[in-house]
């Protein structure tokens, strides 16, 4: 990736307005392009205006809560010796509860302008999963575009488009063959210079193939799906930023089969706005839309105006985010207490040395 101006990496007034005149003269903005366990990869312009790739240790953030750790898409301010100073406020942030039994917040990407929700026109298509991604986008106030891939392998793509249009008539939906340059070109309107796009979707839906087409090369490894169940093999193993042919920046992510909701109640309410609107007509203000008398939501289901699947997914996501948010909040308190302990211990050690 060759850059000559920070705008090409997504730098704009939102980030620059956070800096003082002194900071603008003495500090350097670098964008995080990759995060490993102990290493942060950044890209920016050095003091001489030359493109510079920098590798930083994650050590300075070791005792910080997870939401304060740098993630792909973040902007870090470095000094003239290219040492980290601080993290700039994020414009947007996508996060989840990490997989497994431990209640840990995991950051997926920061400062994303548009989210490409990628799914394929086969057995992999799942409205419940797509709604999870739409909740993430809505919670972070990120524009979402559903990209339906593998149209060349599908006899009738209208089945999938109609399923989305029914509940989301204004949602942008593009049907493409990710290997066809003419098809992929319809996505470039969301990828102009200065814009950052993220890909989210399960393994095997064609994200890496789509990325290669948008870049105009074959830089990302691809792998065929399994014919037996249309599920894919993991070909992307870490998050990374890529420069697109149209000038935008695209973030590729590993396939995530388990996307746990956390801190996203407003995103759920926005994604299921029709249910929220019906709920205002319920007899009881605290109606849970299960079996209460006078429930306008369950009435809509019985009359065929609302799908039972949609209501079930609404209930499921609300319960999941409440459970996960509670457990993550408890973990946050523990991490903060541990962080205060380390800071106090460090201060005590310094006082002891100064005696």
Report the distance separating Cα 188 and Cα 28, nearest Å: 30
Residue 346 pLDDT greater than 90, yes or no: no
Helix (H/G/I), strand (E/B), else coil: 312: helix
Q: Are 76 and 42 in contact (CB under 8 A)?
A: yes
CA 195/CA 16 separation, integer angstroms: 16
Chain-centroid distance of CA 224 in Å reads 25
Per-residue pLDDT at 225: 33
3 φ/ψ sector (left φ>0, alpha ψ -120 to 50, else beta):
beta
**Could you tell me if 323 and 316 are in contact, meaning their C-beta atoms sit under 8 angstroms apart?**
no
Interatomic CA distance for residues 246 and 227, integer angstroms: 34
Report the topology of domain 6-89. Answer: OB fold (Dihydrolipoamide Acetyltransferase, E2P) (2.40.50)
Average pLDDT value over all residues in the chain: 86
For the stretch 152-198, pLDDT in tens is 999 999 999 999 999 999 999 999 999 998 999 999 999 999 999 99
Residue-wise pLDDT tens digits, 91-112: 999 988 876 666 678 888 999 9
Cβ-proximal residues to 311 (8 Å cutoff; 6+ apart), any chain: 275, 289, 297, 298, 301
pTM over 0.85? The answer is no
Which residues 6+ apart lie within 8 Å of 76 measured at CB? Answer: 29, 30, 31, 32, 40, 42, 56, 70, 84, 85, 86, 87, 88
Amino acid 100: pLDDT: 64
> Topology of 107-252 in CATH?
Rossmann fold (3.40.50)
Q: Quote the strand ranges of the chain, DSSP E.
A: 28-35, 39-45, 51-57, 75-78, 84-87, 93-97, 105-110, 114-120, 143-149, 173-175, 196-200, 240-243, 249-252
Structure tokens that stand for 234 in this block? 């993991």
Whether 328 shows a pLDDT value over 80: the answer reads no
Domain 265-337 in CATH 1.10.40.50? yes
Q: Where are the domains of the chain?
A: 6-89, 107-252, 265-337
């Amino acid at each position: 990736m060759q850059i000559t101006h920070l705008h090409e990496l997504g730098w704009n007034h939102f980030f620059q307005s956070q800096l003082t005149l002194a900071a603008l003269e003495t500090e350097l903005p670098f964008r995080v392009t990759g995060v490993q366990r102990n290493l942060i990869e950044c890209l920016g312009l050095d003091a001489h205006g030359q493109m510079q790739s920098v590798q930083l240790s994650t050590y300075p953030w070791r005792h910080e809560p997870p939401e304060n750790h740098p993630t792909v898409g973040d902007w870090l301010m470095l000094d003239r010796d290219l040492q980290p100073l601080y993290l700039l406020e994020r414009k947007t942030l996508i996060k989840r509860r990490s997989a497994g039994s431990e209640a840990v917040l995991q950051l997926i990407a920061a400062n994303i302008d548009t989210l490409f929700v990628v799914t394929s026109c086969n057995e992999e298509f799942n409205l419940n999963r797509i709604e999870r991604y739409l909740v993430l986008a809505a919670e972070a106030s990120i524009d979402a575009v559903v990209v339906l891939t593998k149209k060349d392998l599908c006899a009738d793509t209208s089945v999938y488009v109609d399923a989305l249009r029914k509940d989301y008539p204004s949602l942008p939906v593009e049907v493409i063959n990710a290997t066809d340059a003419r098809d992929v070109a319809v996505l470039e309107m969301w990828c102009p210079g200065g814009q950052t796009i993220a890909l989210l979707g399960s393994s095997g839906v064609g994200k890496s193939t789509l990325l290669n087409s948008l870049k105009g090369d074959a830089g990302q490894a691809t792998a065929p799906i399994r014919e037996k169940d249309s599920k894919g093999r993991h070909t992307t193993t870490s998050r990374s930023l890529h420069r697109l042919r149209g000038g935008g920046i695209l973030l590729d992510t590993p396939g995530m089969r388990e996307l746990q909701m956390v801190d996203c109640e407003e995103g759920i309410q926005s994604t299921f706005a029709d249910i929220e609107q019906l709920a205002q007509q319920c007899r009881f203000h605290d109606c849970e839309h299960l079996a209460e008398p006078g429930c306008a939501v369950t009435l809509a289901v019985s009359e065929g105006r609302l799908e039972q699947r949609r209501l079930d997914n609404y209930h499921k996501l609300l319960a999941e985010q409440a459970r996960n948010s509670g457990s993550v909040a408890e973990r946050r308190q523990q991490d903060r207490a541990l962080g205060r302990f380390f800071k106090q211990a460090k201060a005590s050690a310094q006082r002891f040395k100064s005696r």
